[in-house]
Structure 1
């Protein structure tokens, strides 16, 4: 519990400092674009919450290092490996000039470092045929590991669209990792996961619901990398944990990314990296949370923003709960991945066609009274 408390308090303190003295660094760190296609905030907001999370995680793990060298060293090595991913994202937060390809490459470099320092390589994915190839050609296992880690990190950046969305999804997933790490007796992974949970909760204190600070690309890539690597390490160190457990655990951000690529390339015939306003969370914001707003009612836009995220938290739980129940059984995990995919597509197309179930829709009281 000391790790959780330390990371929470330091994250909260650093985030408070960033917000309180934002006027000193806003020129470099504020997200001032209020009109972009994926922008839904009403004022300039610091987007370097990831810096506070990194500092908090490092501090908690450093304290743990003095209590238990093996556990602390594990976490610190993982943090060291994360730096290319974090720095590339932070550079984008500050300069607004770092492309997604460079950030993906940097995250893959981080995955390679983690593989080298902690032996964090996927040797199996429990897919017939591919497993034999990975065993025969170790370089293929390395490539798949790096691509998978980079993809998961990018997925958390993609869902980072509303107050509390990406960070709370990360907390839910990390709680799942913590639970299974406890079940198999892996204290190093459990402590590293708890340290990140505490840091995210300290960030959420200011991010949700009012959005006083944002995670930023640095934070999203750091958190996504952390979750991806803990997932790889959990399955690599404990063969009894199905390779599909972390996949189902992270299935919401992963499937959101894959579906976005399909939507852009196949349906819209555009570049897969081209931003748009058609993500599921954006459709829920516009068509399910029917919360009327106006230029003179910025507080209503903040409320609407905050009301959007819980829908996706529940959606995430639809994958996390079966993952926790059946973390040993890959066939059941594959079945629930299929069920989640079908459910996601049904929900998406229902909202697109204005046929979302009535119980999901939130109307502003002014809408119901006819004003």
Structure 2
């Protein structure tokens, strides 16, 4: 099908890469909506407009369409959702006449679609930015009882998350124009559906929800026109290119942009009930601050690092702490035994163990023993699956329904052990020399960021305040288990013995 992205002077990758990820994301996003969301004109219009964008995006990935052909497809998709679906910018502090509303909406939809498309310059960048935006839109939609929009955001977020598993640096597949244009189109349409409906949110909120791609695109186009060139001529002056020129590695550049986008999303959440003028002033202030920082960095020739040594010097500091060999042994031993004690505590603290958890534990024990004697079965995959499936249930039961003997002091010791586990993970990751061990990547950071932020929301936004602690504890055990699986030698049965012992306790307690 010739769905291959060839490297050139403007691109970061050096080998041809398949760019079929957009097709997979489209299928993953559309099917759940078709099953769960009732159809009306607006939902049908979103599907039809998005289908046009994806179809022409695939053609562009195969044949490299001319810019005016892509623009025609984007305009057609936008007109479908505007005319058939009724998605329009009708109000910005006051009602807008149709002669202004239609062209303004068309310009905004097409502009943002291209902005997200242009942001697809590093592995995981466009997908991660879109994921942060869709999660935020879905949450705000849920808060104002727009259930259908929230469900559509969840479906798209799930499709992106599955794609990022293979697109995080080093990527093995690209989303192509089909994927990046689809994400940009859905993102801008969903923000208009959120803020132009009967909601109390500011009509300027979409600028924050799509903040970084908008600023990046406007800045690059403005610089091109200032130099007398075409605003649509591609170059390597996007913010992600500049971060790498400042000395950041590929993954570090992506993570820093995630943080900048998160700053805009926090503003969207905090200022959603304030006036349009205040929202606009804050957005302009943040945008000018980011642009000025890049300008100042370029003028002063600032660098984040010299050579391969990070300005943070984390590895060097830990290495000097008693020598690398001693330090890694200390942190790894701490990681192993604290993880063992914390996981054992999850099995003992709950007042009761539901029978279904015991049944699963029995099946996991059998699977672990079976994997030991069958070379064709990957033991680490069985261990990881068992750990991921059992941990959320045990942590939930431990935090919400502890046994009578579990006092406040016992729970404080438990929380302290979780903090100690974090320190052991950080130390191990900074000192390890294993090439095939656990590597913390931008997708891990993205998941960590989303979960921690939503766990830290005021308790009024969560039905059960203790769920924040549950989510944080589950996240810590997940990453600790992954680090252990990456660092333990193949012939070491430490982790599977611990899991067998803990699962046996859970099985017995549930059946008694």
Q: Structure 1 residue 355: deviation in Å?
A: 4.2
Task: Tell me which residue corresponds to 1:100.
Answer: 67
Q: Structure 1 residue 280: deviation in Å?
A: 1.2
Q: TM-score, normalised by structure 2?
A: 0.58
Show structure 2 runs of 5+ residues with no match. Answer: 317-512
Task: Tell me which residue corresponds to 1:294.
Answer: none
CA contact (8 A) 2:58 2:177 kept: yes
Task: Tell me which residue corresponds to 2:239.
Answer: 280
Q: Structure 1 residue 41: deviation in Å?
A: 0.9
* Aligned-partner Cα distance in 2 for 1:209–1:74: 37
Match status 1:36 vs 2:19: no
Show structure 1 runs of 5+ residues with no match. Answer: 1-24, 290-303
CA contact (8 A) 1:75 1:192 kept: no
Structural mapping, 1:92-131, within 5 Å: 92-96=60-64, 98-126=65-93
- When the two chains are superposed, the root-mean-square deviation of aligned CA atoms in Å is 2.2
The equivalent position to 1:344 in structure 2, one of 277, 290, 298, is 290
Q: Structure 1 residue 52: deviation in Å?
A: 0.5
Structural mapping, 1:145-224, within 5 Å: 145-224=105-184
Q: TM-score, normalised by structure 1?
A: 0.79
Match status 1:46 vs 2:18: yes
Runs of 4 or more above 3 Å deviation: 73-77, 360-363, 365-369
* Aligned-partner Cα distance in 2 for 1:164–1:354: 29
Distance 1:118 1:362, change over 3 A: farther
Distance 1:61 1:286, change over 3 A: same
CA contact (8 A) 1:61 1:76 kept: no
Task: Tell me which residue corresponds to 1:297.
Answer: none
Match status 1:56 vs 2:28: yes
* Aligned-partner Cα distance in 2 for 1:81–1:164: 25
Higher relative contact order (CA 8 A, sep 6+): 1
**1:280-336, CA deviations, whole angstroms, 9 ceiling, x for partnerless residues?**
1101112231xxxxxxxxxxxxxx323321111111112111111111212331122
Task: Tell me which residue corresponds to 1:228.
Answer: 188
Secondary structure of 2:88 counterpart: coil
Q: Structure 1 residue 62: deviation in Å?
A: 2.0
* Aligned-partner Cα distance in 2 for 1:366–1:168: 24
Structural mapping, 1:258-273, within 5 Å: 258-266=218-226, 268-273=227-232
Bigger shift: residues 150-159 or 247-256: 247-256
* Aligned-partner Cα distance in 2 for 1:29–1:310: 28
